[in-house]
């Protein structure tokens, strides 16, 4: 009798595990076939389109969209650069791929992802900040894991190993609702205005009109910038006629390092290196991280390092001037 009970229990456990694994397998296959992030890694039951609202992951869809031939990279310091206005001014078709909290390592990972679908882009715009001036070879990010490597690495095995999670269900639901026409699609160009719905209230503590000179001479500046080294190697893989425009994004002048300090010297060298990287091909370097009347006006900033649209419009006009009006690509 005891033996029969033991056998019955074993059969029940085996049946339960089989059913559980079967259901899990069906869910897993369904997630893969519905492709919540629209990566295109595997055939999908749903056509392309952005359904995810997270800027750290929805670039997977935008970054492979072949309707775009130019892209904006960076973090939230470049988020206000409008791909629509840039497209109108240049004749190119820009997509916004900036990601809040992304450092140089993540930004270059996203560049590689974009280039896998766009081997001959017509322009690359990098909104760089002082994180590109780090001397740390690990290239730390302001926000760790702002971009999940498994999503952008191009490895299908990495993707399959991470796609099964409870976070997928609301994204899959959005994908289905968008495909059915019951939910408004998210802007494929990726523009997101962080000023919208917020009230300006930046009241900075400004330093004296003249800053005191450093009490001692700075030590020899560190001229190693591993992020820029990697950027140069990545740029060398692009077609020779692909323009790269690097914009050093503005900050409120009080956040600039004091003149005569080691930090000030290293920032200047970092800018020189970025300018050299841009000068090796069509494009250019635009420096807005300076002490200027614009950068001394607090109404131009949301906080110490995030510009408002009054500055982003100026930057867009300068970028358009550098790129010029470009003819459409040849179809021959």
pLDDT tens for 255-269 read 999 998 999 999 999
Within a domain: residue 6?
no
**Contact of 296 with 304, CB cutoff 8 Å:** no
Within a domain: residue 82?
yes
Within a domain: residue 314?
yes
Given the DSSP bridges, would you call strands 244-248 and 283-287 parallel, antiparallel or unpaired?
Answer: parallel
Within a domain: residue 215?
no
Contacts of 186 (CB under 8 A, 6+ apart): 49, 50, 51, 52, 53, 58
| pLDDT over 60 at 329, yes or no | no
pTM of this structure: 0.88
If one counts the domains in the chain, the total is 1
Please give the Cα distance from 234 to 15 (Å, whole number).
53
| pLDDT over 80 at 325, yes or no | no
- Residue 34: CB atoms within 10 A of its CB come to 19
* Confidence band for 330, pLDDT divided at 50, 70 and 90: very low
Within a domain: residue 165?
no
* Confidence band for 163, pLDDT divided at 50, 70 and 90: confident
Within a domain: residue 121?
yes
Within a domain: residue 203?
no
CATH of the domain at 96: 3.40.50.1110
- Residue 27: CB atoms within 10 A of its CB come to 14
As a whole number, mean pLDDT of residues 187-203 equals 87
Taking alpha carbons only, the member of 332, 331, 266, 323 closest to residue 122 is: 323
Within a domain: residue 31?
no
| pLDDT over 80 at 316, yes or no | yes
What is the per-residue pLDDT for 331?
38
**Contact of 202 with 307, CB cutoff 8 Å:** no
As a whole number, mean pLDDT of residues 112-129 equals 96
Domain hosting residue 289, numbered range: 54-154+186-194+222-323
Q: At 202, is the secondary structure helix, strand, or coil?
A: coil
Whole-angstrom CA distances from 34 to 37, 51, 205 are 9, 11, 51
**Contact of 290 with 300, CB cutoff 8 Å:** no
Q: Please name the residue that has the structure tokens 């595997």.
A: 42
């Amino acid at each position: 009798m005891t033996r029969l009970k033991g056998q019955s229990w074993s059969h029940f456990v085996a049946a339960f595990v089989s059913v559980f694994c079967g259901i899990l397998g069906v869910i897993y296959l369904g997630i893969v076939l519905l492709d919540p992030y629209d990566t295109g890694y595997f055939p999908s039951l749903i056509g392309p389109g952005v359904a995810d609202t997270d800027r750290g992951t929805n670039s997977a869809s935008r970054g492979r969209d072949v309707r775009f031939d130019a892209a904006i990279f960076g973090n939230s310091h470049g988020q206000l650069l409008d791909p629509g206005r840039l497209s109108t001014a240049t004749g190119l078709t820009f997509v916004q791929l900036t990601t809040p909290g992304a450092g140089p390592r993540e930004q270059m990972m996203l560049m590689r992802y974009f280039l896998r679908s766009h081997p001959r882009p017509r322009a690359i715009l990098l909104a760089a900040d002082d994180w590109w001036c780090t001397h740390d070879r690990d290239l730390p990010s302001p926000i760790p894991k702002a971009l999940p490597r498994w999503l952008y690495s191009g490895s299908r095995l990495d993707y399959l190993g991470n796609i099964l999670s409870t976070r997928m269900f609301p994204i899959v639901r959005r994908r289905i609702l968008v495909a059915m026409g019951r939910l408004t699609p998210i802007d494929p160009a990726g523009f997101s205005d962080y000023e919208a719905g917020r009230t300006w209230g930046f009241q900075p503590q400004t330093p004296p009109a003249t800053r005191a000179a450093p009490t001692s001479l700075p030590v020899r500046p560190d001229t190693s910038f591993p992020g820029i080294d990697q950027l140069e190697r990545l740029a060398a893989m692009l077609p020779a006629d692909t323009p790269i425009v690097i914009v050093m994004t503005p900050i409120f002048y009080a956040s600039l390092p004091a003149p005569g300090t080691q930090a000030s010297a290293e920032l200047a060298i970092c800018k020189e290196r970025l300018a050299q990287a841009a000068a090796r091909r069509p494009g250019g370097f635009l420096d807005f991280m300076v002490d200027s009347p614009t950068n001394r006006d607090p109404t131009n900033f949301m906080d110490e390092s995030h510009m408002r649209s009054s500055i982003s419009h100026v930057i867009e006009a300068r970028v358009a001037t550098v790129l010029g009006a470009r003819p459409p690509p040849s179809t021959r």
